[in-house]
């Protein structure tokens, strides 16, 4: 029982990451009709925003340290952090510790800007091109983006820790009357879950309750009609692309402490997020969220020993098996609209 | 003799009874129009005839064989061709290729793995297609990209494609919808010519009364999913029930 | 215009030639008459360094490449000579190999066996490389080793840790300096017993592919031999990035040690996840919960950051070895010095193994006075040497595996910089990690005969 | 000739000449010159050119004609390779049974996967194929290791049974005794050309595959496939059953992939699971689109383009760069090396990505369209004599404009 609860919790957490990544992807697809293979790269860039900020915080200059020598026997120098010099030891240390949450503020303008530039500079020329061309050009862009990151940051994962206050894990089991340690879950992952819920809720509220959102939703349903009404839908679409990029970026920022970011993490998530979006139904926001959670939970259950004993290797393929079953029983995914991307 | 016999057909979509108790019989070598106000069930009925929908009740017999449960392509192979409201042609292919495809379908059936025969060796098909292109005055456009033709030409091409298969029953779904007057008249003339020159039965769903009364030999009026009355055009024109249900408003509107 | 060898090496003859038994592929070479593939003709000799340059191991590949370049420099008599001065054999004189200047070509394995073989093929067929070295995974090593065997060139494996490389997939033309999973386990077991006692319950997560399995098998055998109990072993998909669903049940399983048979990105992520779950802060069965990562790599430790603090694992070599464990490991400081002065930071174990392999190859050629692969094989088989940083080492004839001391390390609590993340706990002597050639974990393959190619 | 019209026969002839003369054409630089770095005329790479050419030609029959974008064709390539290696392990080192089996097994797999996946269209179809391929990859890498040898890949070994081979049979893949890796080297001044058995076997098979693809393109069947892409509704109401057409196209392209996989294994007896990964499937998509989907020649060009980058650009390291520019003043040399450095060697992916983008942005019809534009500059007058290739490229643009 506790094992099941634990995996359910874990699945919700995994699912929230999937849902968050898929949300941006389906947003771009639903509004602009563009299949964005560079979405994973945006997620990766988000994570590297967190890395960059912590690098900025650790900028330092060398000060001679007479006491020791370095590995070559030369006089030793110590790194002195500017941040500690400027803000004092305590405040500097605090800033350093909190660099990941602070990166959110840092990442939003960057991701919005990247989104705007991408849309205006590239994507907008591809609205009327076949999906295959969109896939190819955004895939090329994804490669370029990740290679640029690799050039500056290397291929190795870069550890990016969560604030000290959020390390360790919370014992749910005790709350529910189980033995201690039966159901524990890391604080940061709980925060990720809450953060995802917040962002997903925010995006929904934005689309549901603002005029802007209404126009965009109308544009999603029927772009031409909205255009005929004399509404400048293009401008709104640019903003939507920026928002989607920001959502992907924030998902990346918050993900950085969970797994050390590396330059190809975007590709790792790309296939998965596409499966999530398609299982949810192309262009459907609730579908993407639902599918994200569904796949997250099923993946968690599939990794249980009890399940693997019966079906060896099931955790390797569960996502794909579920995708196949859903697509065969529900032609357009869980909540897809008819006629979208069926040609 | 009736070529198409529709008996007691009913179709329900959720809470909406789209068709109920439809009886219709189309006599061979006539032009039969089905008219009715919006939402009368015309398109639903048409879709039941070509296999896109399967009626909940009743039967549809074509030339003594039931069409129910058959796929659209099987029904086409039985001899029913359909012309769509907006012309459905192969936009990416040339006009000539558009003509060749139905000819192949007629000769080779629903599927044939003839992957190693060159089209250029298929003289019978090429001749047949050429003949149709000439007949339908599309010969000079033969190398044109079909999608880049005018709407009238697309319609003409679509009808030509259907006719090349020598169907016994041609179903037309509002063939002049959205057309300019001149194009509409051209289409009427074309259909008249077809009717005169061929042994063919034509069933036409139409909104435009001008088209209906220019062509039809018999008219069925559909209202709220059920046939109101069936008669010759002259009788329909004067029929009080029809006027009440349909024509009065429509003619005013027109 | 000259047509050379056209009839000699033509198609018709091949069938008859092949009757000799082993494959006798006829690779192009300017001097086929010398009797082996890519025999160097001019005043240069070309070596092929095939390392991952794209993909997750690109940084490790870059470090290997640095070491190769350094080795080539030293062979050609440039720089400070590095380990040449400490190497027990004095056959190398700093004038290239047998007087031929050493050149090299590089390629990208992408850590995919296909791409690695394509890259190695181009080195052999196009650039005339006579030896291939490098690589950062066992899949690639085994694939390229097989290719070199067929092509008739020597393969000096880079970083490959699976038992299979010198076990069931061993090849006469292939040599491995790096240690393997069995040796890791044998070296770790006594140290773990000292550190954590002889009554422990192990839960292991194992990367679900060949290397992971051999690693797990080795560790399980070694720890059970000293009294530990393995209560569960869970296979994790290679593609997994988030290990939370595998880590979550660990604490409640009754285990008090978690063994992570992962490497590379898998290792970084699973360890990060395990520490996130707070496993290291927990007490189980009245003991501190411990995590063990059998195969350590400096680069991966860097990726895991602070999470490696206190985690025990094994290494083939560490740059602090000579300073901390003394003269036995001479060569280490010489290498660190020339590497550090050239690149500004200390070398990784991958760099050291690649450097050593290049020197060992060159030395074998010099001793054999021939580039013929069979002569090189003969020179390396059963060769005992010292002064390359690992202490006295034997290249065993039976399986072409090096036997030397294994370093057991632990993540530092407060590392000074990103190159000094681990401390040396102990060095397990070679005798303790030596196994018979026919050990069941290595059974199944045959070394075969050396293949000189053309 | 060969039941082809003049234009197609001409194309086939040109391709045949280029393919057969490839060992010379691809080695334009003397072996000892600095530019020799760009020579691609060595057996392994040439084999890859034509083998991936076959893969892409087959993929184009599905994607270029029917528009069904499969993201799982690498699975058939992998299955083909595994079958071929198993055949060589169990039966004989002769490549004929290996290649035959790889085509058959890939065909069977594609029947099953195609039958299921073709129940959906558009991106739903793509994801279904992707799911099957990823499942194959994941399983081949892990639980199916007894069959696939997992991480290390399936290789031949000395103690394989090989029941058809006698004691003296060659222990390397061969065609009735002619080993795939045997080669003749011809020196012509400082140029060195290598003619290998393996390459010529692949080249001949590629020409056959290319010829078949022309026939398919020009057949009623090929026209039906293009009709499927254009308008399925009209197909159905014209009495044509689209399912068997698309399934046939899927299976044909799957068999082409299997053939390519079998050839890969025959040239180099190893079958690794990575061959089935989604990136490998993506690669053939890129090849096809990059070259020009729906054109005859495009996929082959695309395959060559990508493989050239992968194998040639990745090998250019700083040493090589310094070698090129050594005649320049030191400062300038270093500057040039610094500028070029990020784009070659370990940065070859970056260059490839940039080129993808440039081609897609400026040449929507792929390299074939680029070639035509180039050609048009030289013969303005001849504008109407558009080849089939031009038509396909044009059609793509027009569809795009709608």
Contacting residues for D314 by C-beta, under 8 A, at least 6 apart: C53, C54, C107, C108, C119, D344, D345, D346, D348
To the nearest whole angstrom, how far is the Cα of A72 from the nearest Cα of chain C? 6
The reported pLDDT for the residue numbered D81 is 96
Question: How many residue pairs bridge chain A and chain C with CB atoms within 8 Å of each other?
Answer: 136
Are residues B115 and D5, on separate chains, in Cβ contact within 8 Å? no
Q: D183 by DSSP, 3-state: which?
A: strand
Are residues C55 and A17, on separate chains, in Cβ contact within 8 Å? no
Asked if residue B6 has pLDDT above 80, the reply is: yes
Asked if residue C19 has pLDDT above 60, the reply is: no
Mutate to test the interface with A, among C62, C249, C308 (most CBs of A within 10 A): C249
| Chain segment C332-382, per-residue pLDDT in tens | 999 999 999 999 999 999 999 999 999 999 999 999 999 999 999 999 999
To the nearest whole angstrom, how far is the Cα of D220 from the nearest Cα of chain B? 6
Asked if residue B140 has pLDDT above 60, the reply is: yes
Indicate the pLDDT class of residue C10, thresholds 50, 70 and 90.
Answer: very low
What is the rounded distance in angstroms from the CA atom of residue A99 to the CA atom of residue A83?
12
* Token representation of residue B212: 């209906």
Determine how many CB atoms are found less than 10 A away from the CB of residue C118: 25
Predicted complex ipTM: 0.89
* Token representation of residue D4: 């082809």
Asked if residue D397 has pLDDT above 80, the reply is: no
Asked if residue C28 has pLDDT above 70, the reply is: no
C334 burial via Cβ count (<10 Å: 0-12, 13-18, 19+): buried
Pick the more confident residue, A31 or B244.
A31
To the nearest whole angstrom, how far is the Cα of A247 from the nearest Cα of chain D? 23
Q: How many residues does chain D have?
A: 402
Q: Which of residues 28-87 of D touch A (CB under 8 A)?
A: 63, 67, 69
Please list every residue in chain D whose beta carbon sits closer than 8 Å to the beta carbon of residue A128.
400-402
Backbone torsions φ then ψ of C47, nearest 5 degrees: -110, 150
Average pLDDT over residues C118-136: 92
Indicate the pLDDT class of residue C7, thresholds 50, 70 and 90.
Answer: very low
Contacting residues for D171 by C-beta, under 8 A, at least 6 apart: C18, C21, C22, C23, D93, D156, D158
To the nearest whole angstrom, how far is the Cα of B223 from the nearest Cα of chain D? 27
Pick the more confident residue, D224 or A92.
D224
Q: How many residues does chain C have?
A: 454
The reported pLDDT for the residue numbered A342 is 63
Element (H, E) at D304: helix D298-312
Mutate to test the interface with A, among C278, C344, C348, C417 (most CBs of A within 10 A): C278
Q: Judge whether D154 is closer than 8 Å to chain B, CB to CB.
A: no
Element (H, E) at D128: helix D122-141
Please list every residue in chain A whose beta carbon sits closer than 8 Å to the beta carbon of residue C306.
159, 161
Mutate to test the interface with A, among C207, C252, C320 (most CBs of A within 10 A): C252
Backbone torsions φ then ψ of D318, nearest 5 degrees: -60, -35
The secondary structure of residue A337, as a DSSP letter, is: P
A207 burial via Cβ count (<10 Å: 0-12, 13-18, 19+): buried
Are residues A132 and D289, on separate chains, in Cβ contact within 8 Å? yes
The reported pLDDT for the residue numbered C25 is 39
* Token representation of residue D128: 């279904």
Are residues A137 and D290, on separate chains, in Cβ contact within 8 Å? no
Cβ-nearest to A181 among C265, C282, C420: C282
Average pLDDT over residues C141-154: 93
Element (H, E) at A2: helix A2-32
Are residues A10 and C55, on separate chains, in Cβ contact within 8 Å? no
D296 contacts D64 by C-beta, under 8 angstroms: no
Q: What is the DSSP string of A194-251?
A: HHHHHHHHHHHHHHHHSHHHHHHHHHHH-HHHHHHTT--HHHHHHHHHHHHHHHHHHH
CA distances from B239 to A65, B31, B231, B247 (A): 109, 20, 9, 10
- The pTM for the full model equals 0.90
Please list every residue in chain A whose beta carbon sits closer than 8 Å to the beta carbon of residue D139.
313, 316-317
Domains of chain D, each with CATH number or no CATH:
6-278 (1.10.3470)
Please indicate whether the domains covering C44-179+321-399 and C182-315 agree at the CATH topology level: yes
Comparing alpha-carbon positions, the chain D residue that sits nearest to A143 is D353
Q: Judge whether D351 is closer than 8 Å to chain C, CB to CB.
A: no
Q: Judge whether D235 is closer than 8 Å to chain B, CB to CB.
A: yes
What is the rounded distance in angstroms from the CA atom of residue A16 to the CA atom of residue A254?
12
Q: Give Cα A115 to chain centroid, integer Å.
A: 15
Comparing alpha-carbon positions, the chain C residue that sits nearest to D149 is C210
Backbone torsions φ then ψ of C254, nearest 5 degrees: 90, -5
CA distances from C65 to C69, C158, C353, C392 (A): 6, 11, 11, 25
* Token representation of residue C147: 């290719």
Comparing alpha-carbon positions, the chain D residue that sits nearest to A29 is D123
| Chain segment A212-224, per-residue pLDDT in tens | 888 877 776 776 7
| Helix/strand/coil (H/E/C) assignment for every residue in chain C | CECCCCCCCCHHHHHHHHCCCCCCCCCCCCCHHHCCCCCCCCCEEEEEEEECCCCCCHHHHHHHHHHHHHHHHHHCCCCCCHHHHCCCCCCCCCCCECCEEEEEEEEECCCCHHHHHHHHHHHHHCCCCCEEEECCCHHHHHHHHHHHHHHCCEEEECCCCCHHHHCCCCCCCEEECCCCHHHHHHHHHHHHHHHHCCCCEEEEEEECCHHHHHHHHHHHHHHHHCCCEEEEEEEECCCCCCCHHHHCCCHHHCCCEEEEECCHHHHHHHHHHHHHCCHHHCEECCEECEEEEEECCHHHHHHHHHHHECCEEEECCCCCHHHHHCHHHCCHHHHHHHHHHHHCCCCCHHHHHHHHHHHHHHHHHHHHCCCCHHHHHHHHCCEEECCCCCCCEEECCCCCEEECCEEEEEECCCCCCCCCCEEEEEEECHHHHCCCCCCHHHCCCCCCCCCCCC
Average pLDDT over residues C325-332: 93
Please list every residue in chain B whose beta carbon sits closer than 8 Å to the beta carbon of residue D245.
111
Average pLDDT over residues A68-86: 79
Are residues D184 and C6, on separate chains, in Cβ contact within 8 Å? yes
- Chain B residues at the D interface, defined by Cβ less than 8 Å, are 50, 71-74, 76-77, 81-82, 84, 88-93, 97, 100-102, 104-106, 108-122, 125, 145, 147-148, 161, 165
Nearest to D43 by CA among D209, D256, D200, D210: D200
What is the rounded distance in angstroms from the CA atom of residue B230 to the CA atom of residue C28?
88
Chains C and B touch (3+ CB pairs under 8 A): no
Find the distance separating the first CA and the last CA of chain A, reported in whole Å: 46
To the nearest whole angstrom, how far is the Cα of A150 from the nearest Cα of chain C? 9
Average pLDDT over residues C187-192: 94
Domains of chain B, each with CATH number or no CATH:
2-247 (3.40.50.300)
The residue extents of the domains of chain C are 44-179+321-399, 182-315
| Chain segment C384-414, per-residue pLDDT in tens | 999 999 999 999 999 999 999 999 999 998 8
Are residues A167 and C249, on separate chains, in Cβ contact within 8 Å? no
What is the rounded distance in angstroms from the CA atom of residue A252 to the CA atom of residue A266?
9
What is the rounded distance in angstroms from the CA atom of residue B118 to the CA atom of residue B111?
16
The CATH class that applies to domain C44-179+321-399 reads alpha beta
What is the rounded distance in angstroms from the CA atom of residue C349 to the CA atom of residue C347?
7
Comparing alpha-carbon positions, the chain D residue that sits nearest to C17 is D170
| Chain segment B152-207, per-residue pLDDT in tens | 889 899 999 999 999 999 999 988 887 788 888 888 888 998 888 888 999 999 87
Q: For chain A, what is the largest distance between any 2 Cα atoms, rounded to a whole number of angstroms? A: 76
Q: Which of A78-87, A136-145, C296-305 comes out lowest in average pLDDT?
A: A78-87
Q: Among positive and negative, which fits the CA dihedral D275, D279, D281, D282? A: negative
To the nearest whole angstrom, how far is the Cα of D233 from the nearest Cα of chain B? 8
Q: Which of residues 28-57 of D touch C (CB under 8 A)?
A: 39, 42-45, 48
Element (H, E) at B59: strand B57-62
Are residues A328 and D119, on separate chains, in Cβ contact within 8 Å? yes
* Matching residue, tokens 């089991």: A173
Domains of chain A, each with CATH number or no CATH:
1-61+77-329 (1.10.3470)
Are residues C446 and D184, on separate chains, in Cβ contact within 8 Å? no
What is the rounded distance in angstroms from the CA atom of residue C12 to the CA atom of residue A336?
63
Are residues C18 and D192, on separate chains, in Cβ contact within 8 Å? no
Q: Judge whether D146 is closer than 8 Å to chain A, CB to CB.
A: no
Comparing alpha-carbon positions, the chain A residue that sits nearest to D143 is A313
What is the rounded distance in angstroms from the CA atom of residue D28 to the CA atom of residue D312?
14
The reported pLDDT for the residue numbered A255 is 93
Pick the more confident residue, A32 or C152.
C152
The reported pLDDT for the residue numbered B245 is 67
To the nearest whole angstrom, how far is the Cα of D210 from the nearest Cα of chain B? 13
Exposure letters D13-31 (e unless 16+ CB within 10 A, then b): eebbeebbebbeebbeeeb
Please list every residue in chain B whose beta carbon sits closer than 8 Å to the beta carbon of residue D236.
71-73, 76
Query: Radius of gyration (Cα) for chain A, nearest Å?
Result: 22
Write down the CATH number for the domain with range C182-315. Answer: 3.40.50.2300
Could you tell me which chains touch chain C, where touching means 3 or more CB pairs under 8 A? A, D
C242 contacts C250 by C-beta, under 8 angstroms: no
Instruction: Provide the mean pLDDT of chain D.
Output: 88
């Amino acid at each position: 029982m506790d094992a099941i609860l634990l995996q359910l919790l874990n699945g919700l957490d995994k699912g929230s990451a999937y849902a968050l990544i898929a949300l941006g992807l389906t947003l771009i697809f639903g509004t602009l009709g563009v299949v964005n293979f560079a979405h994973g790269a945006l997620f990766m860039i988000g994570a590297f925003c967190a890395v960059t900020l912590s690098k900025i915080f650790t900028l330092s200059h060398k000060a001679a340290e007479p006491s020791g020598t370095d590995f070559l026997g030369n006089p030793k120098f110590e790194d002195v952090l500017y941040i500690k010099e400027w803000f004092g030891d305590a405040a500097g240390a605090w800033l350093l510790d909190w660099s990941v949450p602070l990166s959110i503020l840092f990442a939003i303008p960057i991701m919005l800007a990247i989104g705007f530039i991408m849309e205006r500079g590239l994507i907008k020329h591809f609205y009327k091109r076949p999906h295959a061309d969109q896939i190819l050009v955004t895939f090329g862009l994804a490669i370029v983006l990740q290679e640029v990151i690799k050039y500056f940051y290397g291929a190795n994962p870069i550890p990016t820790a969560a604030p000290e206050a959020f390390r360790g894990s919370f014992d749910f089991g005790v709350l529910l009357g189980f033995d201690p340690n039966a159901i524990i879950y890391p604080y940061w992952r709980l925060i990720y879950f809450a953060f995802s819920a917040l962002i997903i809720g925010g995006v929904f509220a934005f689309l549901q309750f603002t005029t802007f959102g209404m126009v965009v939703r109308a544009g999603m349903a029927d772009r031409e009609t909205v255009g005929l009404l004399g509404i400048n839908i293009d401008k709104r679409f640019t903003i939507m692309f920026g928002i989607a990029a920001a959502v992907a970026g924030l998902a990346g920022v918050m993900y950085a402490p969970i797994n050390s970011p590396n330059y190809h993490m975007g590709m790792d998530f790309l296939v998965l997020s596409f499966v999530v979006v398609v299982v949810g139904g192309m262009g459907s926001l609730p579908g993407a969220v639902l599918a994200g959670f569904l796949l997250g939970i099923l993946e968690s259950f599939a990794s249980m020993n009890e399940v693997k004993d019966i079906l060896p290797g099931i955790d390797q393929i569960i996502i794909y098996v579920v995708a196949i079953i859903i697509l065969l029983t529900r032609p357009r995914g869980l909540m897809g609209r008819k006629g979208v991307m069926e040609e | 003799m009736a070529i198409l016999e529709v008996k007691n057909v009913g179709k329900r979509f959720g809470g909406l009874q789209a068709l109920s108790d439809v009886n219709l019989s189309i006599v061979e070598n006539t032009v039969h129009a089905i008219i009715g106000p919006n939402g009368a069930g015309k398109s639903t009925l048409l879709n039941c005839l070509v296999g896109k929908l399967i009626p909940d009740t009743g039967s549809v017999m074509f030339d003594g064989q039931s069409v129910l449960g058959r796929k659209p392509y099987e029904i086409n192979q039985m001899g029913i061709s359909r012309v769509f409201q907006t012309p459905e042609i192969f936009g990416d292919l040339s006009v000539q290729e558009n003509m060749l495809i139905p000819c192949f379908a007629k000769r080779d059936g629903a599927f044939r793995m003839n992957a190693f025969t060159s089209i250029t060796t298929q003289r019978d098909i090429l001749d047949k297609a050429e003949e149709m292109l000439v007949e339908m005055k599309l010969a000079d456009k033969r190398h044109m990209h079909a999608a880049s033709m005018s709407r009238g030409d697309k319609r003409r091409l679509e009808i030509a494609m259907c006719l090349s298969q020598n169907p016994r029953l041609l179903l037309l779904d509002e063939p002049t919808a959205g057309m300019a007057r001149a194009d509409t008249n051209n289409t009427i003339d074309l259909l008249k010519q077809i009717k005169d020159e061929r042994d063919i039965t034509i069933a036409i769903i139409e909104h435009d009364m001008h088209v209906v009364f220019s062509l039809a030999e018999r008219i069925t009026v559909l209202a709220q999913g059920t046939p109101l009355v069936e008669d010759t055009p002259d009788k329909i024109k004067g029929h009080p029930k029809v006027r009440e249900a349909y024509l009065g408003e429509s003619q005013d509107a027109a | 215009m000259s047509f050379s060898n056209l009839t000699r090496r033509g198609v018709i003859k091949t069938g008859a030639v092949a009757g000799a038994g082993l494959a006798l592929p006829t690779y192009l070479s300017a001097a086929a008459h010398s009797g082996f593939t890519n025999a160097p003709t001019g005043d240069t000799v070309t070596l092929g360094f095939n390392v991952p340059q794209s993909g997750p191991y690109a940084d490790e590949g870059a470090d290997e490449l640095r070491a190769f370049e350094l080795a080539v420099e030293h062979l050609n008599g440039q720089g400070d000579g590095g380990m040449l001065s400490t190497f027990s054999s004095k056959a190398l004189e700093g004038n290239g190999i047998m007087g031929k200047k050493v050149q090299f070509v590089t390629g990208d394995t992408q850590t995919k066996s296909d791409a690695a073989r394509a890259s190695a093929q181009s080195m052999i067929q196009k650039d005339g490389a006579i030896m291939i070295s490098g690589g950062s995974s066992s899949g690639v090593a085994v694939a390229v080793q097989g290719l070199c065997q067929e092509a008739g060139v020597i393969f000096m494996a880079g970083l490959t840790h699976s038992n299979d490389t010198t076990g069931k997939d061993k090849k006469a033309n292939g040599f491995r300096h790096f240690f393997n999973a069995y040796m890791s386990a044998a070296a770790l077991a006594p140290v773990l017993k000292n550190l954590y006692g002889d009554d422990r319950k192990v839960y292991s997560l194992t990367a679900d592919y060949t290397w992971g399995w051999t690693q797990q098998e080795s560790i399980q055998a070694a720890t059970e031999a000293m009294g530990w109990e393995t209560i569960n072993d869970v296979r994790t998909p290679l593609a997994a990035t988030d290990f939370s669903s595998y880590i979550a049940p660990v604490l409640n399983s009754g285990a008090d040690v978690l063994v992570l048979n992962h490497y590379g990105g898998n290792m970084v992520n699973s360890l990060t996840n395990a520490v996130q779950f707070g496993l290291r802060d927990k007490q189980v069965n009245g003991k501190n919960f411990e995590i063990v990562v059998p195969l350590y790599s400096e680069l991966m430790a860097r990726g895991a950051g602070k999470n490696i603090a206190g985690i025990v694992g094994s290494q083939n070599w560490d740059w602090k070895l000579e300073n901390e464990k003394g003269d036995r490991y001479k060569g280490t400081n010489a290498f660190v010095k020339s590497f550090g002065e050239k690149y500004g930071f200390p070398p990784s174990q991958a760099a050291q193994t690649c450097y050593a392999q290049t020197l060992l190859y060159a030395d074998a050629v010099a001793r054999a006075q021939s580039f013929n692969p069979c002569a090189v094989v003969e020179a390396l088989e059963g060769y005992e040497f010292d002064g390359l940083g690992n202490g006295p080492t034997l290249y065993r004839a039976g399986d072409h595996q090096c036997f030397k001391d294994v370093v057991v390390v632990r993540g530092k609590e407060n590392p000074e910089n990103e190159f000094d993340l681990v401390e040396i706990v102990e060095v397990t002597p070679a005798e303790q990690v030596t196994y018979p050639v026919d050990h069941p974990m290595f059974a199944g393959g045959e070394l075969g005969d050396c293949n000189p190619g053309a | 000739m060969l039941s082809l019209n003049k234009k197609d026969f001409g194309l086939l002839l040109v391709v045949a000449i280029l393919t057969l003369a490839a060992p010379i054409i691809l080695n334009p630089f003397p072996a000892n010159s600095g530019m020799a770095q760009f020579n691609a005329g060595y057996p392994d790479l040439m084999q890859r050119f034509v083998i991936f050419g076959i893969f892409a030609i087959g993929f184009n029959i599905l994607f270029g004609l029917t528009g069904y974008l499969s993201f799982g064709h690498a699975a058939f390539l992998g299955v083909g390779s595994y079958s071929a290696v198993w055949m060589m392990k169990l039966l004989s080192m002769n490549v004929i049974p290996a290649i035959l089996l790889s085509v058959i097994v890939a065909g069977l797999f594609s029947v099953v996967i195609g039958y299921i996946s073709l129940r959906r269209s558009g991106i739903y179809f793509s994801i279904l194929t992707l799911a099957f391929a990823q499942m194959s990859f994941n399983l081949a890498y892990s639980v199916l290791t007894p069959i696939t040898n997992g991480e290390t890949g399936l290789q031949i070994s000395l103690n394989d049974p090989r029941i058809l081979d006698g004691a003296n049979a060659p222990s390397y893949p061969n065609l009735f005794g002619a080993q795939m890796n045997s080669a003749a080297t011809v020196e012509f001044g400082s140029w060195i050309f290598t003619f290998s058995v393996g390459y010529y076997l692949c080249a001949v098979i590629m020409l056959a595959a290319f010829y078949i693809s022309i026939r398919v393109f020009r057949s009623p069947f090929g026209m039906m496939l293009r009709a499927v892409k254009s308008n399925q509704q009209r197909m159905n109401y014209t009495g044509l059953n689209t399912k068997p057409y698309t399934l046939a196209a899927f299976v044909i392209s799957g068999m082409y992939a299997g053939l390519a996989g079998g050839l890969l294994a025959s040239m180099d007896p190893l079958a690794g699971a990575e061959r089935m990964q989604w990136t490998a499937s993506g690669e053939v998509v890129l090849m096809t689109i990059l070259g020009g989907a729906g054109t005859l020649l495009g996929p082959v060009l695309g395959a060559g383009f990508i493989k050239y980058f992968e194998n040639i650009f990745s090998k250019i390291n700083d040493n090589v760069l310094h070698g090129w520019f050594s005649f320049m003043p030191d400062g300038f040399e270093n500057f040039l090396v610094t500028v070029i450095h990020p784009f070659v060697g370990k940065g070859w992916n970056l260059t490839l990505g940039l080129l993808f983008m440039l081609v897609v942005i400026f040449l929507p019809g792929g390299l074939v369209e680029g070639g035509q534009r180039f050609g048009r500059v030289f013969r303005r007058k001849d504008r109407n004599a558009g080849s089939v290739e031009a038509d396909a490229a044009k059609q793509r643009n027009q569809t795009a404009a709608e």
